[in-house]
Amino acid sequence: MHGGLPCAAAVQRHAHCCSGFTLLEVMVALAIFATAAIALTNVAMQYTQATSNAILRTKAQFVALNEIALMEMNREWMTGTASKQITQQGEKWQIDKSAQATISPNVQRIEVQVSLMNAETDKVESGITSLIFFNPKVKQS
């Protein structure tokens, strides 16, 4: 038995020595976790940016539709081009309108381009949306 005791102690010491994770295993696990965390962060940022762009495009569509409705209510007949800056939907916008003749002399094609203005520099950042509508000439009675 005396000869077996050192062997049992050696097995116990060996088991104690080899239990747990080595520094290399922990570092590999942390590297995998960090890579996954970076990938998830990138996906979240892309989702947030896409949502923000969709909201901006929707606001620009409303601005363009409001401008068209205003033209229809005022029975505005355009010649050439026109530009104006307005604040709507919590943003500053530039609206550029362009009139073109059609086959009918009583109908014109109007293109409405809505661009976002930079509030600090007061310059156009980018065109967000463009709508085309056909404007009938209303006969005055």
Q: Tell which residue, 66, 68, 141, 54, has the closest CA to residue 109.
A: 68
Q: Does residue 68 fall inside a structural domain?
A: yes
Structure confidence at residue 9 as a pLDDT band (50, 70, 90): low
**Domain holding 37: CATH number?**
3.30.1300.30
What per-residue confidence (pLDDT) applies to 67?
94
More confident of the two residues 49 and 6: 49
- Number of structural domains (the chain) is 1
Mean pLDDT of the chain: 85
Q: Is residue 94 part of a domain?
A: yes
Which has the closest alpha carbon to 93: 112, 72, 70?
Answer: 112
Domain housing 70: 26-136
Q: Is the pLDDT of residue 15 over 60?
A: no
Distance CA 122, CA 116 (A): 10
Q: Is residue 45 part of a domain?
A: yes
- Domain membership flag for residue 18: no
Domain assignment of residue 103, yes or no: yes
**Is 60 exceeded by the pLDDT of residue 1?**
no
Secondary structure (3-state) at 7: helix
pLDDT digits (tens, 9 = 90+) for 101-133: 999 999 999 999 999 988 778 788 877 888 899
Higher per-residue confidence, 8 vs 60: 60
Query: What CA–CA distances, in Å, run from 123 to 15, 21, 61, 118, 126?
Result: 71, 59, 20, 5, 9
- Side-chain-side CA neighbours of 76 within 13 Å: the count stands at 19
In a domain, 79, yes or no: yes
pLDDT band at 69 (very low <50, low <70, confident <90, very high): very high
